Amino acid sequence: MKILVCISHVPDTTSKINFINDDSQFDTNGVQYVINPNDEFGLTRAIWFQEQQGATVTVINVGGPETEPTLRKALAIGANEAIRVNATPTDGFFVAKQLAEVIKNGSYDIIIAGKESLDYNGGMVPGMLAGIVGYNFVNSCTGLTVDGTNATAIREIDGGKETLTTSLPLIIGSQKGLVEEKDLRIPNMRGIMTARTKVLTVLEPIEAGQTTKAVKFEKPAPKSAVKLVAADNLDELINLLHNEAKVI
């Protein structure tokens, strides 16, 4: 079984976010990058298939040379090889087209892509990818088992969960719950050393149009000041809630 895990190179949630060029461009100065959390859950599940069913795991990213440390971390976690498509990920459609080209030439059984990236939260790539290559698709996937050429997937739906059976090849949109957070892998020294010798292939992009463009970014408004009311002053609390906050 061959598994391809799509890896987004995203800012760490602890990073301070700023914008430049009249708020039209993200400022990367001083920002630490990590594997997109939704992708990390997918990668961990792929490594489970590797250990339990002998799967081969390839990770892929669309990005410049600055993303290679993130791919090397995925290799250190346990992926067998990595692919980097040498292009700036301008929008979801562009990324999906680059990934689709690799999939068409790779004969992969399962493609795992986070349901959305932590930075832009577009949620477009997995579905677009499935549409382009014509594979079965399960989004918001929180469970996946494979038996031969058949798969059973669990996905989140409004108000509950749904269990589906389908055939391979399959694309899933992974998220928290596909594995437990306690099962996420931290690279050990042996994995880090081994990752240096694993194959990281760089491919040039294919022509693909850009369908969307970020025009301007805006930070959320700062939180207003908090008013503290003494625990025994219920009259004042009620007055503020009624006359100022207007919630009662």
Looking at the DSSP bridge assignments, the partners of residue 59 are 5, 82
What pLDDT, on a 0 to 100 scale, did the predictor assign at position 85? Answer: 98
- Residue located via tokens 């399962």: 110
Q: What is the pTM of this model?
A: 0.88
Before 169, cis peptide (omega within 30)?
Answer: yes
What pLDDT, on a 0 to 100 scale, did the predictor assign at position 72? Answer: 97
68: helix, coil or strand? helix
Q: What are phi and psi of 183, to 5 degrees?
A: -95, -5
225: helix, coil or strand? coil
CA distance 50 to 44: 10
Segment 112-137 shows an average pLDDT of 94
Rg (CA), the chain: 22
What pLDDT, on a 0 to 100 scale, did the predictor assign at position 156? Answer: 95
CA distance 76 to 93: 29
Give 187's Cβ-side CA count (13 Å radius). Answer: 23
pLDDT of 138 higher than 90: yes
pLDDT in tens, 204-238: 999 998 888 889 999 888 888 888 999 999 999 99
Question: Is the domain 2-220 a CATH 3.40.50.620 member?
Answer: yes
Return the H-helix or E-strand segment holding 99: helix 92-104
Higher local confidence (pLDDT), 96 or 119: 96
pLDDT of 183 higher than 90: yes
Instruction: Write out the E strands in the chain.
Output: 2-6, 9-11, 19-20, 25-26, 33-35, 56-62, 81-85, 110-114, 136-147, 150-157, 160-167, 170-174, 200-203
